[in-house]
Amino acid sequence: MEVISYSSPPCCNLKSRLLVKKSSTRQQVKIPLRRKHRILCTRINSRSGSLGLSNKDHPLLKNVYHGKGSRPFNALEGSKNVESKVFSGNYNGYVIGREDEVGSMSETGDSVTKVLIPGLPDESNGERGASISSCFWEWKPKLNVHYEKSGCENVNSPPLLFLPGFGVGSFHYEKQLKDLGHDYRVWAIDFLGQGMSLPIEDPTSQSKEESISETKDLVWGFGDETEPWASDLAYSMDLWRDQVRYFVEEVIGEPVYIVGNSLGGFVALYFAACNPQLVKGVALLNATPFWGFLPNPIRSPRLARIFSWSGTFPLPESVRKLTEFVWQKISDPESIADILRQVYADHSTNVDKVFSRILETTQHPAAAASFASIMFAPQGELSLREALSRCHMNNVPICLMYGKEDPWVKPVWGLQVKKQVPDAPYYEISPAGHCPHDEVPEVVNYLLRGWIKNQESQGSVALPLLDEMENIQNSITKNLEFVREGSSKSVIVRFFGSRFSLWNRIESYFKSRFGKLETKSQ
Contact 10, 33 (CB under 8 A): no
Helix (H, G, I), strand (E, B) or coil at 159: strand
Tell me which fold the domain 2-521 belongs to: Rossmann fold (3.40.50)
* Model confidence, pTM: 0.80
The DSSP secondary-structure symbol of 226 reads E
Confidence of residue 136 (pLDDT cuts 50, 70, 90): very high
> Strand 100-105 and strand 111-116: pairing?
antiparallel
Mean pLDDT, rounded, for 132-159: 96
Q: How many CB atoms lie within 10 A of CB 338?
A: 14
**Residue 521 CA: distances (Å) to CA of 509, 512, 514, 515, 517:** 19, 14, 11, 10, 6
Task: Report CA dihedral (54, 55, 56, 57) to the nearest 10 degrees.
Answer: 60
Contact 450, 466 (CB under 8 A): no
Confidence of residue 334 (pLDDT cuts 50, 70, 90): very high
Looking at residue 194, its pLDDT comes to: 97
The answer on pLDDT for 166 being more than 80 is: yes
Q: Is omega for the bond preceding 301 within 30 degrees of 0, making it cis?
A: no
Confidence of residue 395 (pLDDT cuts 50, 70, 90): very high
Contact 466, 495 (CB under 8 A): yes
Residue type at 119?
Answer: G
Least confident of 259-263, 334-338, 477-481, 511-515: 511-515
Q: What is the pLDDT of residues 305-322, one digit of tens each?
A: 777 778 889 999 989 999
Contact 244, 220 (CB under 8 A): no
Mean pLDDT of the chain: 80
Backbone angles phi, psi at 236, to 5 degrees: -110, 170
Confidence of residue 273 (pLDDT cuts 50, 70, 90): very high
Q: Which residue has the higher pLDDT, 470 or 120?
A: 120
Looking at residue 375, its pLDDT comes to: 92
Q: What is the pLDDT of residues 481-490, one digit of tens each?
A: 999 988 999 9
Mean pLDDT, rounded, for 504-521: 57
The answer on pLDDT for 212 being more than 80 is: no
Contact 310, 379 (CB under 8 A): no
The answer on pLDDT for 31 being more than 70 is: no
Q: Which residue has the higher pLDDT, 125 or 372?
A: 372
Helix (H, G, I), strand (E, B) or coil at 225: strand
Rounded (5°) CA angle 393-434-456? 40
Mean pLDDT, rounded, for 339-361: 95
Confidence of residue 423 (pLDDT cuts 50, 70, 90): very high
The number of CA neighbours under 13 Å toward the Cβ of 157 is: 18
Q: Which residue has the higher pLDDT, 378 or 246?
A: 246
Looking at residue 54, its pLDDT comes to: 37
